[in-house]
Amino acid sequence: MTTYGLTEEHQMITETVRSFVEKEIYPHEELVERTGEVPEEIAQEIKRKTIELGFYACNFPESVGCAGLSHVEFALVERELGRGSMALNHFFGRPQNILMACEGEQIERYLMPAVRGEKMDALAMTEPGAGSDVRGMKCSAMRDGGDWVVNGTKHFISGAEHADFVIVFIATGEDQTPKGPKKRITAFLVDRGTPGFTIRDGYKSVSHRGYKNMILEFDDCRLPDTQVLGEVDSGFEVMNTWLYATRITVAAMSVGRARRAFDYALDYAAQREQFGQPIGKFQGVSFQLADMVTEIDAADLLTLAAADRLDRDLPANREIASAKLYASEMLARVTDAAIQLHGGMGLMDDYPLERFWRDARVERIWDGTSEIQRHIISRDMLRALGA
Amino acid sequence: MKVLVPVKRVIDYNVKVRVKADGSGVDLANVKMSMNPFDEIAVEQAIRLKETGQAEEVVAVSIGVKQAQETLRTALAMGADRAILVVAADDVHTDIEPLSVAKILAKIVEEEQPGLVLCGKQAIDNDMNATGQMLSALLGWSQATFASEVEVAGDKAKVTREVDGGLQTIEVTMPTIITVDLRLNEPRYASLPNIMKAKKKPLDEKTAADYGVDVSPRLSVVKTEEPAARAAGIKVGSVDELVAKLKEAGAV
Ligand SMILES: Cc1cc2nc3c(=O)[nH]c(=O)nc-3n(C[C@H](O)[C@H](O)[C@H](O)COP(=O)(O)OP(=O)(O)OC[C@H]3O[C@@H](n4cnc5c(N)ncnc54)[C@H](O)[C@@H]3O)c2cc1C
Ligand SMILES: Cc1cc2nc3c(=O)[nH]c(=O)nc-3n(C[C@H](O)[C@H](O)[C@H](O)COP(=O)(O)OP(=O)(O)OC[C@H]3O[C@@H](n4cnc5c(N)ncnc54)[C@H](O)[C@@H]3O)c2cc1C
């Protein structure tokens, strides 16, 4: 018995991750919410169990000793993880698969320790002056002897407080094009503790308490050529090859979180009585539930279909953008409706709904805002018509 | 030694059970089904015996509807080596009675010659708590029920049983049947490599007729009812208030 397009293995992956999240993540969520921190013992415990289960770095191929999940399988993992706290799930390690671009001795210094859970990574593109417009970045590296000297600032860098090294995109020059100057970008591997490189606390975010964003500062930070990931000036190619698929993660997590919120709403609608009957008997409430589940299912299918295109090596840029756009906006509507169905109690932290609602907000912003996704979708169609 | 573990597909323990409108039973259409939690503990114990070198092979068996194949795949993903599915019903609402299950298991034991059968003490759907005991009688094997600790050494097994008054430790001669209780172990999650391998592990499909066992029911369900709804609780602010309320209710 399978759900549309899903095999028995898919079901088992889903169920295993779901029960892992329910038993190993849910019980710690309140503490993380309250303190904004993940205690080290809990972090290590989640990591240890994930490694034991063979799920750590399951987005990496068998050639580096990992599970080599397909895009659909990985989307199912992310979907179930999306039910739980991001701060805690961070230790259900999924290193950036861009690390597959490691070469030579970088493999033993970065790639292998990352997939074995010995070192943690973070990825830095965004700057105070360059968000959606990645190419507008100011953080730059200048040649000095055989080295690079880096100056600049990155902000909003998730997970950098736990990172042993950061994959940083840095401008390494500028080309003159008919449309004006265009930055050349290179990806670097930067170790925590490199002189001239500081990781400091970022801002307090309304979404995902305990999943911190950090500020990185480079002050005459000297990096040898061995720290270049991929080729010099090919940062954009590296980005497009490897980061293309990460938006599926946002879509899948949005679906998982929406289902969790929906479960609360459905249950409450069946239990809560007003005017002498369960509120679910009022059509105003029941139709809302119908809309919610329909939208969740649609986002789920859109996400899996986009992942399936990647598995089939079909162009998927537009489909991934649609999934990310629709799922993150669906999550906003569903979490809002779930609160509405709970009346005043929906806002109180006795229920996790106010948290789901807050957490939902960032999904429309990171990994490319909704507007940028709409831009991608529309350009994909119109460019073909010469417009 | 080979270990045989019978596993039953039951309504998931998280599902809010609903009685069918006609009172004939519980509604199982479109609800989540899982492996009986006690059977999960039995599978876990069998795998541990294999890991410590006391068992060579773990064979999972399920008797019921075809969909029980999913339950067997879960056992394989946890680490069982192969599985036998005995299709004995078409309708998901048909429950095969313990005696029929025990008779089929007895035939499988004859064929497979395991040194140990590890079962859950009961299935959470109908709480019969009978299959292991009946199998023991049919085979003329020793039995140790409600195990919270199991130690296998040579041709003996030392089993700690959870009985009403406390714990009882008994020694049984192998081959034996052990039915396991909740506190024996904590079942593992299926690991990702094992999930991927599960599909490739052998799963034999049989029918009840292959074993010459008549599975038609001997019991009839007269009525199924929802338990009485529990009244909502109240929150109290202090111990004094709690005591006062309890007195009011005549509870102390
Ligand atoms: C909690 C958090 C964690 C993050 N983690 C990371 C991380 O780990 N690594 C990392 O590199 N980055 C990270 N980011 C950065 C994230 O990817 C950016 O916030 C995002 O790309 C948007 O950039 P911005 O915030 O600078 O907004 P801006 O780009 O300044 O956008 C402002 C508004 O203008 C709109 N806009 C911009 N350009 C256009 C256009 N062409 N057409 C229409 N509308 C447009 C946007 O949609 C948005 O509504 C994180 C952000 C957050 C909030
Ligand atoms: C911060 C805060 C401060 C407050 N302050 C006060 C105060 O000072 N004094 C005071 O008396 N109250 C106060 N309230 C209570 C507030 O007025 C109620 O929360 C509100 O009336 C809704 O009631 P409820 O929360 O019990 O939700 P419910 O009535 O249980 O509603 C749950 C859901 O069912 C829906 N629903 C209910 N009946 C129907 C129907 N017939 N048809 C369709 N849908 C229906 C509702 O729209 C809602 O979506 C406060 C609430 C909050 C959150």
Strands (E), chain A: 121-124, 140-144, 147-158, 165-177, 180-191, 197-201, 213-223, 228-229, 273-274, 277-278
* CATH dotted code for A8-94: 1.10.540.10
Residues of A in contact with B199 (CB under 8 A): 8-9
Copy the structure tokens of residue A199.
């990781």
| pLDDT value for B30 | 84
| pLDDT value for A1 | 33
Question: Rounded mean pLDDT of B45-64?
Answer: 97
A124/A215 Cα distance (integer angstroms): 10
DSSP letters along A44-83, please? HHHHHHHHHTT-TTTTS-GGGTS----HHHHHHHHHHHTT
SS3 call for B44: helix
Question: Residues B84, B143: contact at Cβ < 8 Å?
Answer: no
Write down all domains in chain B, each with its CATH number in brackets. Answer: 2-225 (3.40.50.620)
* CATH dotted code for A121-237: 2.40.110.10
DSSP letters along B151-210, please? EEETTEEEEEEEETTEEEEEEEESSEEEEE-TTS--PPPPPHHHHHHHTTS-EEEEEGGG
Closest approach atom of ligand 1 to CA A207: 1
| Rounded (to 5) percent helix, strand, coil in chain A | 55, 20, 30
Identify the CA nearest to B77 among candidates B114, B40, B117. Answer: B40
Write down the domain spans for chain A.
8-94, 121-237, 244-383
DSSP letters along A178-195, please? TTEEEEEEEEEEEETT-T
Chain segment A244-283, per-residue pLDDT in tens: 888 999 999 999 999 999 999 999 999 999 999 999 999 9
A209/A220 Cα distance (integer angstroms): 33
B72/B58 Cα distance (integer angstroms): 12
Question: Closest chain A residue to B32 measured between Cα atoms?
Answer: A15
Chain segment B107-135, per-residue pLDDT in tens: 999 999 999 999 999 999 999 999 999 99
Question: Residues A354, A336: contact at Cβ < 8 Å?
Answer: no
A233/A182 Cα distance (integer angstroms): 12
Identify the CA nearest to A86 among candidates A192, A187, A209. Answer: A209
**How many CB atoms are located within 10 Å of the residue A99 CB?**
25
Closest approach atom of ligand 2 to CA A283: 43
- Residue B73 is nearest to which of A8, A67, A69, comparing CB atoms? A8
Chain segment A19-32, per-residue pLDDT in tens: 999 999 999 999 99
Which residue shows structure tokens 């006795």?
A350
**ipTM score of the complex?**
0.78
Ligand 1 pocket member A86 (CB < 6 A): no
Copy the structure tokens of residue A369.
């805002």
H/E element, A31: helix A26-35
User: Is pLDDT at B170 greater than 50 in this prediction?
Assistant: yes
Which residue shows structure tokens 């002498």?
A276
Which residue shows structure tokens 């509807």?
B65
Question: Residues A222, A149: contact at Cβ < 8 Å?
Answer: yes
**How many CB atoms are located within 10 Å of the residue B47 CB?**
23
Tell me the H-state helices in chain B: 37-51, 68-78, 98-112, 131-139, 192-198, 239-248
Identify the CA nearest to A245 among candidates A197, A183, A308, A184. Answer: A308
Q: Please give, rounded to a whole number of angstroms, the shortest distance from the CA of A126 to a CA of chain B.
A: 34
Identify the CA nearest to A29 among candidates A83, A109, A94. Answer: A83
Domain A244-383 CATH superfamily? Butyryl-CoA Dehydrogenase, subunit A, domain 3 (1.20.140.10)
Q: Please give, rounded to a whole number of angstroms, the shortest distance from the CA of A76 to a CA of chain B.
A: 13
Q: Do B70 and A52 touch (CB under 8 A)?
A: no
Q: Which of A267, A271, A279 to mutate to test ligand 2, by most ligand atoms within 8 A of the CB atom?
A: A279
pLDDT > 90 in chain A, percent: 93
Identify the CA nearest to A266 among candidates A256, A254, A278. Answer: A278
Question: Rounded mean pLDDT of A344-356?
Answer: 96
Identify the CA nearest to B26 among candidates B121, B126, B101. Answer: B126
DSSP letters along A303-328, please? HHHHHHHHHTT---HHHHHHHHHHHH
Q: Which of A267, A268, A274 to mutate to test ligand 2, by most ligand atoms within 8 A of the CB atom?
A: A274
Which of B67, B92, B189 to probe the A interface (max A CBs under 10 A)?
B189
φ/ψ (deg, to 5) at B142? -70, 165
Identify the CA nearest to A75 among candidates A119, A13, A123. Answer: A13
Confidence of residue B251 (pLDDT cuts 50, 70, 90): confident
User: Is pLDDT at A36 greater than 50 in this prediction?
Assistant: yes
Which of A12, A51, A263 to probe the B interface (max B CBs under 10 A)?
A12
H/E element, A259: helix A246-271
Q: Do B198 and A67 touch (CB under 8 A)?
A: no
Confidence of residue A169 (pLDDT cuts 50, 70, 90): very high
Amino acid identity, residue A375?
H
Q: Which ligand is nearest to the CA of A139?
A: 1
A300/A305 Cα distance (integer angstroms): 8
Confidence of residue A232 (pLDDT cuts 50, 70, 90): very high
Confidence of residue A3 (pLDDT cuts 50, 70, 90): low
Chain segment A48-73, per-residue pLDDT in tens: 999 999 999 999 999 999 999 999 99
Q: How far is CA B178 from the centre of its chain?
A: 12
Amino acid identity, residue B92?
V
Confidence of residue A170 (pLDDT cuts 50, 70, 90): very high
A275/A210 Cα distance (integer angstroms): 41
Question: Closest chain A residue to B67 measured between Cα atoms?
Answer: A1
- Residue B191 is nearest to which of A9, A54, A69, comparing CB atoms? A54
- Residue B189 is nearest to which of A19, A58, A69, comparing CB atoms? A19
Q: Comparing A94-98, A309-313, B234-238, which segment has the lowest mean pLDDT?
A: B234-238
